[in-house]
Amino acid sequence: MDHAQLAALTMLIPIVSIIMGVGIGMLSIYLQFRRKRDMFQLHHIERMAAIEKAIELPPLPPEFFQDARRFESAPIRHRRSGLILLFLGIAIAVALWGTGVPAYWWGLVPAAVGLALLLSSVLETRDLGKSPRPRA
């Protein structure tokens, strides 16, 4: 491979990664929209059939309009994000360490953020356990 081909290849890497990143984000938004649209269409068909048969349906629950991920508690989100960042940082450090370049220290940045999120998860879980719970 000559120098011109290598230069062209190195220019393609950031272009492809940016296009893939934006494309994956757009695809996830589109799939979420389709899922909600299909859910509303099915519910609409059910309601129209009930109206034709003069059956009364209960109103839609408020959870129908909210995203399911919002119901996760902060410790669960922090634990998941912390584990992902911790292992990502370890993977980056190991990959860069194998190259022989002393840039492997950069892998400690996401690992440190991951450890901070894991610590936050532990502390929040402990605080939730100590807080008085309202009586029903």
Summarize pLDDT for 6-39 with one digit per residue, the tens.
888 888 888 888 999 999 999 999 998 998 888 8
38 SS3 class: helix
Same-domain check for residues 135 and 76: yes
Question: Looking at 39, 54, 69, which one is the last position of a domain?
Answer: 69
Rounded CA gap, 90 and 88, in Å?
A: 5
Residue 31, pLDDT score: 94
Residues 40, 88 within the same domain: no
Q: Are residues 7 and 65 in the same domain?
A: yes
| Coil, strand or helix at 2 | coil
Quick one: 91 and 36 in the same domain? no
What percent of the chain clears pLDDT 70, i.e. is strictly above it? Answer: 88
Same domain membership, residue 85 and residue 30: no
Domain boundary among 69, 103, 124: 69
Q: Whose CA is closest to 46, among 57, 35, 36? A: 57
User: Are 59 and 100 contained in the same domain?
Assistant: no
Same domain membership, residue 60 and residue 114: no
d(Cα 36, Cα 70) in Å, to the nearest integer? 15
28 in the same domain as 8: yes
Q: Distance between CA atoms of 118 and 80, rounded to whole angstroms?
A: 8
When pLDDT is cut at 50, 70 and 90, the band that residue 69 belongs to is: low
Judged against a pLDDT cut of 50, whether residue 136 lies above it is answered with: no
Q: Which residue has the higher pLDDT, 130 or 103?
A: 103
pLDDT of residue 24: 94
In Å, how far are 11, 17, 80, 116 from 4, measured between CA atoms?
A: 11, 21, 43, 45
Rounded average pLDDT over 57-75: 70
Same domain, 63 and 77: no
**pLDDT at residue 135 tops 60:** no
In this structure, the answer to whether residues 63 and 99 fall within a common structural domain is no
Total number of domains in the chain: 2
Q: Are residues 85 and 109 in the same domain?
A: yes
Quick one: 38 and 95 in the same domain?
A: no
Q: Which two tokens stand for residue 99?
A: 């190259």
The overall pTM is greater than 0.85: no
The residue segments making up the domain with residue 47 are 1-69
